[in-house]
Structure 1
Amino acid sequence: MTPPDELESVLARLHRAASDGRHLGDVASLRIAGLLGLDVLTIDLVNSAGTLELVWSDPADGPGPELDDLQYTLGDGPTLEAVEEGYTVSEPDLAATDQARWPLFLPAAMQSPARAVIAAPLQVHGETVGALTGYRATPGAMTASQSHDFHRVRQALLPLVSQSAPNGTGDGLRRYREEVQQAAEFLAATLAIPPDHALARLRAYSFRHDRSLADLARDALTRRLRLD
């Protein structure tokens, strides 16, 4: 079990960063997921196009981007539900979850390390601006203490979220899908179609050919892939 003072130290650092007017990018090195009994934490923010942008993953070298991309590509999943509905989503055993809930995400998740998930909306002044999502490689519900601490971390992150912008620069955030957005804009201009149609074409190709959106985006930008 994680010593309580370890989490308190992390929370204090988050509060201090917020008081100093810093951004999410300034706390990217903190290892928080393990303190909550989770293997991965991610933060998505709603960008100007109205889509979710993955901007933070803990640990940075973990499977967070892969799991987030599944939802982004397939169009359903816990993070999307938390943002769209404005409530916390928790599934302690993805293998036992009713497939009707996330008909595309669940089969794909079974090919990933994720076996349990919790996702909570990030709300600033009553507006949902993103979501904090936690994944675990083993099934099982979070304890009452872990769930309480998860929401304490969420509250501590909110001021940093409000000081970060998924479309901005200079805030230290890593924009995991920046190339995807660039590829969609490139395809839109090349094919004379709306950007959301170009993005839908990228997603469909990714799903049909079982390739990551990031790889497709790079191929499209370097003209190694044609989607006309």
Structure 2
Amino acid sequence: MTPPDDLDTILARLHRAASDGQHLGALTSLRIAGLFGLDALTIDLINSTGTLELVWCDPADGPGPELDDLQYTLGDGPTLEAAQHGYTVSEPDLAATDQARWPLFLPAAMRSPARAVIAAPLQVGGETLGALTGYRATPGAMTASQTHDFHRVRRALLPLVPRSAPSAAGSDSGRGDGLRCYREEVQQAAGFLATTLAIPPDHALARLRAHAFRHDRSLTDLARDALTRRLRLD
């Protein structure tokens, strides 16, 4: 496993990116999660429809997208709570977390690698634009030093956030700026369903989410089946 970059390197890169007018695409080569004893980090930003959109994760092949997708499909979880309410969420042992907090996410998380989580809002000018979320495969709280450094990095990210926010879920496809739209296929499937059934896009997305939840499937996998006609959208 590639070791994480040191904190000074990370902060210097972030400050330089901010000074150069860059966005979160500048983070694609940074390795940050391990610095805080975490196994995955994700950044979600709120698009123009009010939906959280995953735009970055570290490591790229880690469990971050899977765990983010669970919250997106189920409609609850730490990232959503941090972004919706504007405060930091920290649960050092998901197995011991009150089930009432995230009644849908917690049972699903127990079937995933996640055992601890921290999520903090990304706020600029008093407005919450998204959330930074960290996951760990073993239970236990972050140390005071790790938590302090986590928030130092979060604050250094803030100048890049307004330049990175997607205008609509899936609309950043093809921008070529280093930002990735992780749920592009979901938005394509929702758009196709909306056209097919002559319903609003948000209603189409809600139907896809409900189908994924009812059949215990990944929303991304469901969207791929819909786009390749292995699933009838009617």
Q: Relative to structure 2, which stretch is displaced further, 178-187 or 168-177? A: 168-177
The residue aligned with 2:132 is 132
Would you say 1:107 and 2:113 are equivalent positions? no
Report if aligned partners of 1:123, 1:130 keep a CA contact under 8 Å in 2.
yes
Q: Distance in 2 between matches of 1:87 and 1:6?
A: 27
Shift in Å, 1:227: 3.0
Question: Sequence identity of aligned pairs in percent?
Answer: 86
Letter in 1 for 2:201: P
The residue aligned with 2:44 is 44
Q: Distance in 2 between matches of 1:81 and 1:44?
A: 12
Q: Distance in 2 between matches of 1:148 and 1:138?
A: 20
Question: For each residue in 1:75-126, what CA deviation from the matched residue of structure 2 results, as whole angstroms up to 9, or x when unmatched?
Answer: 0000000011000000000000000000000000000010000000001111
1:58-207 correspondence runs (5 A)? 58-167=58-167, 168=172, 169-207=175-213
Letter in 2 for 1:163: R
Report if aligned partners of 1:53, 1:175 keep a CA contact under 8 Å in 2.
yes
Report if aligned partners of 2:129, 2:165 keep a CA contact under 8 Å in 1.
no
Q: Distance in 2 between matches of 1:224 and 1:138?
A: 37
Question: For each residue in 1:164-206, what CA deviation from the matched residue of structure 2 results, as whole angstroms up to 9, or x when unmatched?
Answer: 1323424310110011111111101110111111111111111
Computed over aligned residues only, the root mean square deviation of the Cα atoms, in angstroms, reads 1.4
Flag structure 2 segments of 5+ consecutive residues without an equivalent: none
Flag structure 1 segments of 5+ consecutive residues without an equivalent: none
Q: Distance in 1 between matches of 2:122 and 2:179?
A: 17
Shift in Å, 1:18: 1.1
Letter in 2 for 1:91: E
Letter in 2 for 1:186: F
Shift in Å, 1:207: 1.3
Shift in Å, 1:62: 0.3
Letter in 1 for 2:19: S
Letter in 2 for 1:196: D
Q: What is the DSSP-based 3-state SS (H/G/I as helix, E as strand, rest coil) of the residue aligned with 1:162?
A: coil
Q: What is the DSSP-based 3-state SS (H/G/I as helix, E as strand, rest coil) of the residue aligned with 2:112?
A: coil
Shift in Å, 1:221: 1.9
Structure 1 length-normalised TM: 0.95
Q: Relative to structure 2, which stretch is displaced further, 97-106 or 207-216? A: 207-216
**Count of residues in Structure 1 that have an aligned counterpart in Structure 2:** 225
Structure 2 length-normalised TM: 0.93
Report if aligned partners of 1:40, 1:57 keep a CA contact under 8 Å in 2.
yes
Q: Distance in 2 between matches of 1:203 and 1:115?
A: 24
Q: Distance in 1 between matches of 2:19 and 2:78?
A: 31
